[in-house]
Structure 1
Amino acid sequence: MKTILAPTDFSPAATNAVRFAFMIAQELHARLKICHVMDEIPYAVVPGHDGYGGEADNENWKNTEKELAFLQNSLPLRGNDGSYAPEISTIVGAGTVAKGVMEIFRTSGGGVVVIGASGKNFWKRLFYGSATGSLIGLSTFPLILVPESFMTRPIKKIAFATDLHADDIALLGNLAEFARYFNAELLIAHVVDAPGQQAKQINLFLDEITDRLCYPKIYYRCIFNENTDDGLNWLSEHGEIDLLTMVHRKNSWLHPSHCRKISAHPKVPLMILPENLTQLFF
């Protein structure tokens, strides 16, 4: 059984992301672990260990544990329909935020990290030039960013933004298996400047999908827009999707700058997959 990891800074955005993570854990029958990384204590691991910052820091640690427990207790034991009740746990880490999250993920048998797309400090530290580096660039696991204003709802349609890269076929196969848990539609979305562009490449890509993927709810949509980011934002706002998926890949149509631009203000939950990922988290 995999673990869904939900880091929090206790902001409204992070709390909203925890609710979304709980919903995913229900559908996947996975564990949910809520964590907070105290990056102001650079060398601590647990209270009482060498390097811990003294009585004041010990009190901060205990208060953080209480906040995590309160957040855990705010989640329902199970869905209103009597659905699966995920096993929920909490943990406090210390060190730099990105590396702290990655270490908790590694030791917890994590499958995916779910975070809020804004927050008091967490988001800016994590993605925009902090000393810890970008979790998007460092991670080798799926990362889901949940907008603060997004109301958690069942995942009925998943969009996968592709640049028709050959490696996307295998990722789509894994994503289709993920979609099965939700009985969701899987939309393959590709942004081009005008009709007729890349027609041969598109046909070859779709033929390969037909040969290799066995999922009845998968289809393709070409989005016409001269700007890739605008095209993806249009899809998020008007495509009636519940989850947008992008690959964090260097030197391609979906250059990391696209991931960063979309992740700064996502309209719907955004799942970012590292390009070398061989299997999703279920």
Structure 2
Amino acid sequence: MYDDGIIISAISLKRIMKSLLILTDFSEAAFRAAEYACGIAPLLQVDRFILYHAYQTYVGGTEIPIIEDSHEVYLASMESLGLQHDRLSTLAGPGVKIEMMAREGLLTDTIAAYAEQENIAAIVMGVSGKSGLEALLLGSVTAEILKTSTVPVLVVPGDALVGRPVKTVVFATDLKDVNHLSAARLDDFLGAFKAQLYIVNVGGETDEKYRPETFEAITDLHRLLEKYNPTFGYISRDDVVDGILSYAKERQASMIISVPKKHGGFSALFHKSISKKLAYNSNVPLLFLPGLE
């Protein structure tokens, strides 16, 4: 199911795992995500942060739309980025270079291409407990980034513990994503964290647990990840989010990993609403790995 094209050399790994793109809207939730990134940077051999802010000069939603001066908005954005830079410098340490980027446009329209252009190891973004329309809009941004990104996306909840070692990782899968799994990318992070790995197969209460293709997928995953001595589990819940979070909580997980689909939106497990609910209900970081085309 996997070919040699997925395997990358140690030299290539070092080149890839170098830069983190940290999205910020200057909120404390965004800064929390940046703080978390400082803690894992040495493990990932990261020596470069890019603080990225997308701004708009057209403000709608009023009777008369407001068009702000683009240069003034840019200068204000760079000033705010500078304040975040200063706050992060001590936390990141002297070995990490922090760059700043402010660009006009919708975040979801610009971020995927920029991340690929800059050879980013992962996009880091924060999320805080919201409600109503604000949660809907922010959740939609998160879902759109997950759908379009060709690099891993790390979503850090506002109440995630900063500085906590990544000791236990839960890889949540419906086993339909195995064909799309980038073995190299998963290995990048698991190898860096050296954490206890739990693989949990998530299914609905009416799903068949022991279909032949299920055994085949489990066998392939075990072969792929055997060096991490994974523990396999199965949960049967119609409320997928509750099932994943309960399983992760019982095992004191430091991080949850999943693989969104590229074709036809997300899989039945990790479609937009599920991903959004995970992000807004989890108190541990969520790492979304892009699937293979």
Measured against the shorter chain, the TM-score band is: 0.7 to 0.9
Matched, 1:148 2:158: yes
User: Which has more helix, going by share of residues?
Assistant: 2
In the alignment, the residues of structure 2 paired with residue 181 and residue 55 of structure 1 have an alpha-carbon distance, to the nearest angstrom, of 41
Matched, 1:266 2:285: no
Unaligned runs of 5+ in 1: 43-51, 79-84, 278-282
Aligned length: 261
Larger deviation, residues 186-195 vs 141-150:
186-195
Match of 2:101 among 85, 88, 91: 91
**Which residues in structure 2 correspond to 1:1-282 (within 5 Å)?**
1=15, 2-41=18-57, 53=69, 56-57=72-73, 59-77=75-93, 85-118=95-128, 125-128=137-140, 134-152=144-162, 153-165=164-176, 167-168=178-179, 170-171=181-182, 174-193=185-204, 197-201=208-212, 202-249=214-261, 250=265, 252-256=267-271, 257-276=273-292
In the alignment, the residues of structure 2 paired with residue 264 and residue 86 of structure 1 have an alpha-carbon distance, to the nearest angstrom, of 30
- SS in structure 2 at match of 1:114: strand
Deviations 1:187-210, CA, capped at 9 Å, x for gaps: 111123569942244332222233
Q: Residue 78 of structure 2 contacts residue 100 of structure 2 at CA under 8 Å; is this kept in 1? A: no
Distance 1:68 1:224, change over 3 A: same
How many angstroms does 1:273 deviate by? 2.3
In the alignment, the residues of structure 2 paired with residue 225 and residue 119 of structure 1 have an alpha-carbon distance, to the nearest angstrom, of 24
Distance 1:213 1:66, change over 3 A: closer
In the alignment, the residues of structure 2 paired with residue 129 and residue 176 of structure 1 have an alpha-carbon distance, to the nearest angstrom, of 27
Letter in 1 for 2:27: S
Distance 1:32 1:128, change over 3 A: same
Name segments (4+ residues, structure 1) moved above 6 Å: 119-123
How many angstroms does 1:22 deviate by? 1.7
TM-score (norm 2): 0.75
Q: Residue 54 of structure 2 contacts residue 107 of structure 2 at CA under 8 Å; is this kept in 1? A: yes
In the alignment, the residues of structure 2 paired with residue 127 and residue 244 of structure 1 have an alpha-carbon distance, to the nearest angstrom, of 18
- SS in structure 2 at match of 1:109: coil
Letter in 1 for 2:105: G
TM-score (norm 1): 0.78
**Alpha-carbon RMSD:** 3.3
- SS in structure 1 at match of 2:99: strand
How many angstroms does 1:113 deviate by? 0.4
Unaligned runs of 5+ in 2: 1-14, 59-67
How many angstroms does 1:72 deviate by? 2.9
How many angstroms does 1:101 deviate by? 2.8
In the alignment, the residues of structure 2 paired with residue 18 and residue 110 of structure 1 have an alpha-carbon distance, to the nearest angstrom, of 15
In the alignment, the residues of structure 1 paired with residue 192 and residue 70 of structure 2 have an alpha-carbon distance, to the nearest angstrom, of 47
Deviations 1:67-117, CA, capped at 9 Å, x for gaps: 233233242416xxxxxx333322222221223333432332212101101
How many angstroms does 1:268 deviate by? 1.1
In the alignment, the residues of structure 2 paired with residue 39 and residue 62 of structure 1 have an alpha-carbon distance, to the nearest angstrom, of 11
Larger deviation, residues 260-269 vs 249-258:
249-258
In the alignment, the residues of structure 1 paired with residue 46 and residue 153 of structure 2 have an alpha-carbon distance, to the nearest angstrom, of 16
Letter in 1 for 2:241: D
Identity of aligned residues (%): 22
